Amino acid sequence: MQLETLAQSLNAQLASRSAEQALRISFEAPELGQVALVSSFGAEAAVLLHLVAVSKPDLPVLFLETGQHFAETLVYQQELAERLNLRNLRIIQPARAALEHSDPSGKLHRENPDACCALRKSAPLQAALEAIPDLGALITGRKRYQGGPRRALNVFEADPATGLIKVNPLAHWRAQDLRTYMEENRLPKHPLLAKGYLSIGCAPCTSPTLAGETARSGRWRGREKVECGIHFINGHFINGRAARAPHSAKETT
């Protein structure tokens, strides 16, 4: 089955906008094979991580440790992983040789943020995905209300760069839905939320969100860049995807 056709078929199986149903379909669909989750352990990550911990605690959870995270994010990642008893957490880091070659000063984000994201996120993630046997789907925490290209996000989408199905269980959730879920399940908040950071990435490229802005307005402020480059939207490259040779897309049969 072609990747885009498979995404459409999975979306057609959704009887509601329930994140639990989306996850259940992901785990039970024989066409997908192995499933993994990529998490930033950012502002809203606790919701999806909790949903997964309840339904499939041994699911591979990938955290991209770029070397430029806020200290608060690293502490939060450790605390949340322990609290939720994530049994298969994998810390993904960029290769030391690649950093020494392409970003020896650690300032690449100033000169070329797309190249920095490719070096510290896209390439390490690609290698980590290729190391998971029979991987067919990757779960993400993206949501429509975050604005920009994400406004048209579907729960299941084809990612031709990796040949995977991207699963976005929270695509239709609102900010209030997330707050309610966190309160009802007594989940800890990322400490930077109290300082106005509504979307949290690497420290050099993240600033607080101002009143009236969309949640991701504080990312790469002052630049046209809107994404780190590890995601497609509706099968298309989106602004900020660093130029690198795409992985040959595989078909899921």
The CATH number of domain 3-205, selected from 3.40.50.10860, 3.40.50.620, 3.30.420.40, 2.40.160.20:
3.40.50.620
Q: What's residue 214's pLDDT?
A: 79
How do residues 138-165 score in pLDDT, each as one tens digit? 999 999 987 777 888 999 999 888 889 9
Using alpha carbons, select from 75, 112, 87 the residue that is nearest to residue 189: 75
pLDDT along the chain (253 residues), means of 10: 92 93 96 95 95 96 96 97 96 96 94 92 92 95 83 92 92 94 97 93 93 84 69 41 31 29
Q: Is 111 exposed, middle or buried (0-12, 13-18, 19+ CB in 10 A)?
A: exposed
Which secondary-structure segment (H or E) carries 92? strand 89-92
- Provide the strand spans (E) within 105-234: 135-139, 156-159, 164-167
Q: What's residue 218's pLDDT?
A: 84
The neighbour count for residue 150, using CB atoms within 10 Å, is: 21
Question: What tokens were used for 108?
Answer: 């690449």
Q: What's residue 226's pLDDT?
A: 65
Question: What tokens were used for 61?
Answer: 């959870």
Q: What's residue 100's pLDDT?
A: 96
Give the Cα separation of 119 and 72 in Å (integer): 22
Q: What's residue 227's pLDDT?
A: 64
Length of the chain in terms of residues written: 253
Q: What are phi and psi of 42, to 5 degrees?
A: -95, -150
Residue pair 63/39 in contact (Cβ under 8 Å)? The answer is: yes
Q: What's residue 221's pLDDT?
A: 85
Catalytic residue among 116, 202, 205, 228: 228
b/e 187-210 (16+ beta carbons within 10 angstroms → b)? beebbbeeeebbbbbbbbbbbebe
How do residues 48-79 score in pLDDT, each as one tens digit? 999 999 999 999 999 999 999 999 999 999 99
Residue 228 falls in the annotated catalytic set: yes
Could you tell me if residue 242 is left (phi over 0), alpha (psi between -120 and 50 degrees) or otherwise beta? beta
DSSP category for residue 45 = H
CA separation (Å) from 170 to 20, 128, 177? Answer: 9, 24, 10
pTM for the whole thing?
A: 0.84
Q: What are phi and psi of 69, to 5 degrees?
A: -75, 160
